[in-house]
């Protein structure tokens, strides 16, 4: 059966995450329905590189699709997009070897988080507005503690004992773009809610609610504080999923500009 690689962008505001769920509207569910409508096929596999939570967006989610079809990739892409709502868009469909697996073959992932430092009338679903001033020097100092192979047990809501909570964070970048503060976190993989809890802790450091040492200490001893500081889903984007031979995520920039 032919296998395709799909690169997908979506605004997650209206959806209960990526993965199909009973009695909930999800991104995977919408794409699954569109494929059925377009191809009249019932037997196919659609598998994403990662599960984004409710309200989280994607600039370039990756999925593989195993499907019998005579349609060329460009035609298949066009017809699926015509069947999808405007907030989900298949950017690319390409044939790949049958052994390609969207999740297992991924070597790195990057997430982008957007913090607005002023109230915005237009982009509320895509930012976290923080009213208080943020000390970016302190945020950068705290961010450095998260880079490397670290134990993120305090930063996940996964069930203890199900899998290792040690994750390799390859980089954590900060940049200013107008009234936006941008954070990019790149790593081998991510635990459930891990990125949002890291962002929440860094924001607390920037506001002066936590010290740099306290933030780093959450990696040494399990604490419930990061869970209480979880950043909203609205500002989070799955930016890139990288495979062997891919270049990095490129320059850090916002999805839009807020002056």
Could you count the other beta carbons within 10 Å of the beta carbon of residue 195?
Answer: 25
CB 29 within 8 A of CB 73: no
Catalytic residue among 53, 87, 141, 158: 53
Measured CA distances, 190 to 86, 137, 140, 164 (Å): 28, 25, 20, 11
Backbone phi, then psi, for 166, in 5-degree steps?
-85, 130
CB 115 within 8 A of CB 128: yes
Q: Which of 22, 15, 8, 7 is nearest to 233 (CA)?
A: 15
- The answer to whether 87 is a known catalytic residue is no
CA distance 125 to 112: 14
CA distance 37 to 30: 11
Length of the chain: 259
| Structural tokens at position 49 | 């590189």
- Please list the active-site residues: 53
């Amino acid at each position: 059966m032919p296998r395709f690689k799909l690169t997908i962008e979506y605004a997650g505001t209206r959806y209960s995450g990526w993965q199909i769920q009973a009695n909930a509207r999800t991104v995977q569910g919408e794409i699954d329905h569109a494929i059925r409508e377009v191809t009249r096929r019932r037997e196919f596999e659609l598998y994403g590189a990662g599960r984004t939570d409710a309200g989280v967006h994607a600039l370039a989610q990756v999925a593989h699709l195993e499907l019998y079809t005579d349609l060329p990739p460009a035609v298949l892409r066009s017809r699926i997009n015509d069947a999808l709502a405007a907030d989900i868009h298949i950017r690319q469909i390409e044939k790949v070897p049958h052994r390609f697996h969207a999740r297992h073959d991924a070597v790195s992932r990057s997430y982008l988080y957007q913090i607005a430092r002023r109230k915005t009338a237009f982009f509320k679903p895509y930012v976290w507005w923080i009213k208080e001033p943020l000390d970016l020097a302190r945020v950068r100092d705290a961010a450095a503690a998260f880079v490397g192979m670290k134990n993120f047990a305090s930063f996940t809501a996964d069930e203890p004992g199900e899998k290792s909570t040690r994750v390799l964070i390859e980089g954590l970048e900060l940049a200013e773009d107008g009234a936006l503060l941008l954070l990019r976190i790149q790593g081998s993989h991510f635990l459930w809610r891990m990125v949002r809890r890291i962002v929440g802790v860094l924001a607390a450091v920037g506001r002066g609610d936590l010290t740099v040492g306290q933030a780093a200490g959450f990696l040494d001893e399990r604490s419930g504080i990061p869970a209480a500081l979880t950043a909203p889903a609205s500002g989070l984007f799955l930016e890139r999923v990288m495979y062997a031979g891919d270049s990095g995520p490129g320059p850090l920039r916002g999805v839009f500009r807020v002056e």
